[in-house]
Structure 1
Amino acid sequence: MRILRDNGLTIVLLGLFAGSIIGQWIAGWNVEMEEAHRHGQAVLSLGAYTVSPEFLSSVFENWESEFLQMAAYVVLTAVLVQRGSAESKDPDAPPRDTDIQESKPGAPAILNWGSFWRALYARSLGLVLGLLFFLSFIIHWTQSARVAAQEAIAHCEATFTEAGALPQ
């Protein structure tokens, strides 16, 4: 039971994530099955739907907005001040992380690698969230273009790529 006590937050968040992604997976598959029946097309299996552009586009569309919000929040709370907010630095307090150059016992080794690496480490959360937003954006964009191309082909229209319409 100690593992549950010591890792409760991680376990609950992983459970919530799993529940939400499974819910989106099953609900999206049901919508795709209804669309296929309505258009007289073959129905995708649940496994095929998992790697389909429809599912990937919807998942990464959601993740894109979440990573953008988190990246903006992390970066803005690091830079801007809101008096009285627990998330904001106190405008009257001395600068935080003035001792980041000092090597303390148990500190990450990267802090001893030089000023560039300390600066990178100090901004790592914002950078990682920005990178995750960018990757989610690219995957959402490419998979949405694939969905649009498939729909265009189904309706005998000009097909699309990530860059736009192509002549037939």
Structure 2
Amino acid sequence: MNEPAREQEEQTRQPKPRWWRDNGLSLAFGFLLLVALAGQAFWGQLAYNEEAQAAGLQQIGLGDYITSSSFAVDVAENWQSEYLQFLLFILATIWLVQRGSSESKKIDEAGLQSDEDMLLGEHALVQSPRWTKAAGWRRRLYSHSLTLAMGTIFMLSWAAQAIAGRVASNEQRMRDLLEPLSLGQYLASSDFWGRTLQNWQSEFLAVGSMAVFSIWLRERGSPESKPVGSPHDETTSDD
């Protein structure tokens, strides 16, 4: 059999990409996100109406609740903390390492690494993104595009938390016959920082725990774990 015919036969034997399989991870978590948001809206509306009934106020429907400041601030405060978690983890793992952790680079690879290691410029592959082969600002921008995206979403969601939180707080203050707060006053309030820091501390705990637990614990088949038989002090599977 000649070479072109052999290559064509091998390509025929290879399984064709399936969209659902090839995007299973993002689809699964996108579905879970929608389910969790729906559950939060349903139970959040019940809690809101229970408080309104106890205070002798008018209850609201589900549509009104999901467009309310109460729902918006609860969603935004969780989103900002999640994106802060990933932003800090991405930046920290450039320079900081953890011996034996599957979440860490090799001990001697701390730092930005060389263009050759990062497949940039003349070291780029044929299949590499176009901007990795470009010079100047485009290469620099693409080299930090992940942190820029995460940082932007974090700042936008944190701003949304501040705006929606102020509205929700002022609604409660009006019920208590108190003066409403300006945005600056709300940003310095215990409500804003209480909401913020209670989420931040849980994210920092989760990331730190994952980095440490992965030194000694395993999950067979998961890319977040070292191979089950790897030594505890092995930082990466090819160390």
TM-score (norm 1): 0.88
Task: Check the 8 A contact 2:93/2:104 in 1, yes or no.
Answer: yes
Task: Check the 8 A contact 1:146/1:161 in 2, yes or no.
Answer: no
- 1:101 maps to 121
1:120 is paired with a residue of what secondary structure? helix
Task: Check the 8 A contact 1:63/1:136 in 2, yes or no.
Answer: yes
> Which of 119, 129, 147 is equivalent to 2:150?
129
2:107 is paired with a residue of what secondary structure? coil
Where does 1:52-67 land on structure 2 (aligned, <5 Å)?
Answer: 52-67=68-83
Please give the per-residue CA displacement for 1:106-159, whole angstroms capped at 9, x wherever unaligned: 222222442322122122112211111111110001111001111111121111
- 1:120 maps to 141
Distance 2:58 2:156 in 1: 31
- 2:94 maps to 78
Q: 1:65 Cα shift?
A: 1.1
Q: 1:32 Cα shift?
A: 0.7
Which region of structure 1 is more displaced relative to structure 2, 20-29 or 85-94? 85-94
Please give the per-residue CA displacement for 1:20-75, whole angstroms capped at 9, x wherever unaligned: 11111111111111111111111121111111100000000111111111111111
- 1:139 maps to 160
Distance 1:34 1:93 in 2: 55
1:161–1:9 CA distance, 2 compared to 1 (3 A): same
1:116–1:86 CA distance, 2 compared to 1 (3 A): farther
Q: Which amino acid aligns with 1:45?
A: G
Task: Check the 8 A contact 2:120/2:133 in 1, yes or no.
Answer: no
Cα RMSD (Å): 2.1
2:101 is paired with a residue of what secondary structure? coil
Which region of structure 1 is more displaced relative to structure 2, 89-98 or 148-157? 89-98
Task: Check the 8 A contact 1:78/1:88 in 2, yes or no.
Answer: no
**May I ask how many residue pairs the two structures share in their alignment?**
165
TM-score (norm 2): 0.63
Where does 1:25-44 land on structure 2 (aligned, <5 Å)?
Answer: 25-44=41-60
Higher-Rg structure is 2
- 1:9 maps to 25
Q: 1:9 Cα shift?
A: 1.0
Which region of structure 1 is more displaced relative to structure 2, 120-129 or 134-143? 120-129
Task: Check the 8 A contact 1:65/1:133 in 2, yes or no.
Answer: yes
1:152–1:93 CA distance, 2 compared to 1 (3 A): closer
List alignment gaps of at least 5 residues for structure 1: none
Distance 2:109 2:88 in 1: 23
2:26 is paired with a residue of what secondary structure? helix
List alignment gaps of at least 5 residues for structure 2: 1-16, 187-239
Greater relative contact order: 1 or 2 (C-alpha under 8 angstroms, separation 6 or more)? 2
